[in-house]
Structure 1
Amino acid sequence: MRFNRSTSVALAGVLSLGLLTACSSSSDDSTTTKPSGTAGADQVTITVAGLEPGAKQDAVDQLNARVAAFETKYPDIKVEPQEYKWLASTFTTQLAGGTLPTVFEIPLTDGKTLIQNGQLADIDAQFKELSYAGDFNKEALAAGTGDDGKVYAIPAKSFYDVTLHYNRDLFTQAGLDPDKPPATWDEIRTDAKAIYDATGVPGYGMMALDNAGGWQLTAAAYSRGGRVQTTDGKTYTATLTDPAVKAQLQWLKDLRWEDNSIYPGADLGWGDINAAFAAGQIAMFTSGSDIYNALVENNGVTADFPYGLAPIPVEGADAGALTGGTFAAVKVDATDAEKEAAVKWIDFWYLSPLLDQTQAVDNATTRAAANQAVGTPVLPIFSRDQYELSLSWVKDQINVPLDHMKPYTDVMFDQPLVGEPSRSTQPTYGLLYPIVQAVLTDKNADIDALLATANTQDQALIDQGKEE
């Protein structure tokens, strides 16, 4: 994979080597762990982050089927799934209140901070029992490793990059070719207006309700070659006034007040924009490349939905698609028995389907039977070869519209990638999303002034080491 130079993120190279380097084992027994015990042994109960809140019954049924299979394999472990969605704003409260599940998910960017704060369990010993523990890309695993060299969080889901999601039917109704989606921000603007003029449906939607709005503004700015943070390796500098950030805000403002082609409200968060897109209320939006799974699980999207997937425009020097990933962690007060059971679940639920043919087929079969997505394109956490091998195992179960995802899959391994800002990530997004709201709701919003104020505030947060 080709990568651009990035001065903004200490973890900018986390994903690079693992995507193409053959670093993982592909033997069928590669995901085995030490036996958990036999029926009659002292039973351990763990709670696990299962699905996003509001998941459809089919998704719940598929998860329950996998839980049953896990409990058959490990009869001394009882698994209780619960709805869970990572939010930096609620994590500390959940931790203090004892309401976190035993196994929960965290974003790549928050791993180091949570480790340094002593908020994740040390699962190094249990991790090392995995037969493929040495097969992870070392740079990726480093994001879940503490300064003491111990593992506190495990790469658990394939990584994503921010992409363009679009409604093919709305393109057709506007006289546009859905097999040739827009490749530049100017083309997105032109197509958004054409769709609105022809159908009355907003041609574009923008997350703006919460930190997701700052995340997607950052993604767009990075795709234009900008940065919201730079570093010389020691000092981190807020750069919210970067011309690319201003250019994207002006672009949004133009869509709203000149073209009238963007969803006019500021009330779309991550889940809200998914729901609006699934309901045909917007034609295009940007989000993670893996979002099709959530559209199926939470929004009832089916195989006949006119879904299209394309890369985010990448324009100019240092431009790239913003990337991220998900790690699985264990609550800090877990007992040794709970930690052992938790890592077995992480192995079974997240990782075995990527490395073991039997587990891959079993997982894909239950997903397909429950009308869940199989084969959604993602960036692999082990290697490209292993990723493609795992897809070959489940080719008969793949049910996603791959033909309509070709604009993305044709280039997914060639896109330059850029990591998220590595200091005060969520606070930075929290300062940016009100500016997105401002340009969508106030025709006279002063972008320069808003960014200047936010930049001063952001630098203070970075200097204070503020991460929440």
Structure 2
Amino acid sequence: MNTYMARGAAGLLLLAAVAACGGGQDGTSGGKTEITVSGMPPSTQPESQKNFLAQVAEFEKANPTIKVKPTETQYDVKTFAARLAAGQLETVFRVPLTDPQAMIKRGQVADLTADMKLLAKSDFDKRILAPSSTPDGKIYGLPTEAYAAGLVYNRELFTKAGLDPDKPPATWDEVRAAAKTISDKTGVPGFGMHATANTGGWMLTTMTYSYGGRMEKEEGGKVVPAFDDVPTRQALDLLKAMRWDDRSMGTQHLRNQDDLLRDFAAGKVAMMMGAPNLYGSYIAKFNGKPEVYGQTTLPSGSGKGTLLGGTVAVVSPKATPEQRQAAVKWIDAVYLRPKYDAALATERAEKKKADGLVAAVPQLPFFAPAVSDPVMAAEKAASNVDWEHFATYNEGVKAQEFISEPPLAGQELYAALDTVVQAVLTRQDADPAAEITKAVEKVKPILDRSQQ
């Protein structure tokens, strides 16, 4: 779920109502194929909106038979379902990775498999396409952003505690040991855990994946909770041990992602879960020191999984074949090209640097190494970020299993699990197993309603 978008679903706000689609019923206007596309920055961000409209103009020039009508609409978890049911969505719209599987089952997005031939590059990393694909190989969406959850750590505090900042923890046992060492030697809480605004459930899900577990499963033809199992209990037992036995997590425990990142940037917590795309907010929003930021992969428990988050562009099932093809061309030009065109990646990084912005933070490659490696090399060369501080992340994600966020009612599941995390962190007598059982009873009817 994402800032990592920043937090997949919850990090985006609805910026404006959907514009009227216009055009003929066959998706044409003035002899051109017309598509509507979401995601244009609002007028309150004039420079960003100007850049977006420039992309529209460039695309229309390269594709003279296509007319693009942008809207300022962004994904909003509170209104999306109603807009979807009312048929108010654009031809192309973006959703978090929690959504595509349920939408596919309901016939709410178009099958793009036959249109993949229109892409300039199609040798994707299969892990990236999985959230919007079906077991029979059909593809219903294309990635626009992707992150794999990891561990963010304070290199300066590691050094002060006598730990090697170039060798961050690789397992949860090592995280626990490092957190206690840092807390004992510096007085700074060694680890901080998300707990509010759905982030507690989100990060508990991430930890569960690292222990080999899942949050949902199919049983008797229905999706049911799967977190009443050993992996989730292992994650909670670890948190309880660090909080109450080691006393290495401090006393502030009702924080969301921004709260934690603020404290991390201020040197008030040494480690937290997070992906590389937190770095931009760490610098620009919270005035963090570049030399202090360290990023590694998610520590392993009894498994090597981590949460895959981000956004995917999907196409309305009402789109005509011509609109669908135009939509795929738009997605390719705007979202995919920077991932396979090294020259464009360099150009965008240089522009960001010229504007005084963070440029080319390491991200997950969308494509196979032959395509992605030259782009990453170009980004590294043009970046104003120290990629060495992301070295263990960049190397470690190559071997990780990427697991999508819970595909059904993910946000509601996270909300139910927030209370579990809060109980374990704020009440010494809280029983993780009992708290999980309570959450299962909350989630069952939510999943049932989502499948009616």
The partner residue of 2:118 within 130, 150, 169 is 130
Contact kept in structure 1, 2:157 and 2:182, CA below 8 Å: yes
Structure having greater relative contact order (Cα 8 Å, sep ≥ 6): 1
Q: Which residue of 2 aligns with 1:30?
A: none
3-state SS of 1:429 partner: helix
Shift of 1:273: 2.9
1:323 is aligned with what amino acid?
A: L
Match status 1:214 vs 2:201: yes
Distance change (3 Å), C-alpha of 1:388 and 1:372: farther
Structure-to-structure mapping, 1:39-438, within 5 angstroms = 46=36, 48-49=38-39, 61=47, 64-65=50-51, 67-74=53-60, 82=72, 84=74, 86-93=75-82, 95=84, 103-120=92-109, 122=110, 124=112, 127-128=115-116, 130-132=118-120, 134-136=122-124, 141=129, 143-144=131-132, 152-157=140-145, 159-231=146-218, 236-262=223-249, 264-296=251-283, 298-299=285-286, 301=288, 304-316=290-302, 318-330=303-315, 343-438=328-423
C-alpha distance after superposition, 1:294-329 (max 9, x if no partner): 545655556x3411011222132x442233442013
3-state SS of 1:172 partner: helix
Shift of 1:146: 7.8
Taking only aligned residues, the RMSD between alpha carbons, in angstroms, comes to: 4.0
Contact kept in structure 1, 2:195 and 2:253, CA below 8 Å: yes
Shift of 1:80: 5.5
Q: Which residue of 2 aligns with 1:11?
A: none
Shift of 1:247: 2.4
Distance change (3 Å), C-alpha of 1:89 and 1:442: farther
1:153 is aligned with what amino acid?
A: G
Contact kept in structure 2, 1:192 and 1:261, CA below 8 Å: yes
Distance change (3 Å), C-alpha of 1:237 and 1:125: closer
- What is the TM-score normalised by the length of structure 1? 0.74
Contact kept in structure 2, 1:209 and 1:267, CA below 8 Å: yes
3-state SS of 1:412 partner: helix
Q: Which residue of 2 aligns with 1:466?
A: 450
Contact kept in structure 1, 2:152 and 2:275, CA below 8 Å: no
Contact kept in structure 2, 1:228 and 1:242, CA below 8 Å: no
Give the whole-Å Cα distance in 1 for the aligned partners of 2:116 and 2:401: 32
Shift of 1:352: 0.7
3-state SS of 2:164 partner: coil
Give the whole-Å Cα distance in 2 for the aligned partners of 1:81 and 1:405: 36
3-state SS of 1:74 partner: helix
The partner residue of 1:453 within 434, 438, 446 is 438
Contact kept in structure 2, 1:164 and 1:287, CA below 8 Å: yes
Shift of 1:422: 4.0
Moved more, 375-384 or 413-422: 413-422
Q: Report the identity percentage.
A: 35
Give the whole-Å Cα distance in 1 for the aligned partners of 2:390 and 2:348: 22
Distance change (3 Å), C-alpha of 1:169 and 1:103: farther
3-state SS of 1:165 partner: strand
Shift of 1:340: 6.7
Contact kept in structure 2, 1:290 and 1:376, CA below 8 Å: yes
C-alpha distance after superposition, 1:83-130 (max 9, x if no partner): 84x45344224556898676543222310212344544x374995573
Give the whole-Å Cα distance in 2 for the aligned partners of 1:106 and 1:199: 42
Moved more, 278-287 or 122-131: 122-131
Contact kept in structure 2, 1:424 and 1:465, CA below 8 Å: no
For structure 1, the residue ranges without an aligned partner over 5 or more in a row are 1-39
For structure 2, the residue ranges without an aligned partner over 5 or more in a row are 1-29
Moved more, 279-288 or 141-150: 141-150
Shift of 1:197: 3.9
Give the whole-Å Cα distance in 2 for the aligned partners of 1:345 and 1:300: 35
3-state SS of 2:38 partner: strand
C-alpha distance after superposition, 1:192-212 (max 9, x if no partner): 233334444332221111322
3-state SS of 2:149 partner: strand
- What is the TM-score normalised by the length of structure 2? 0.76
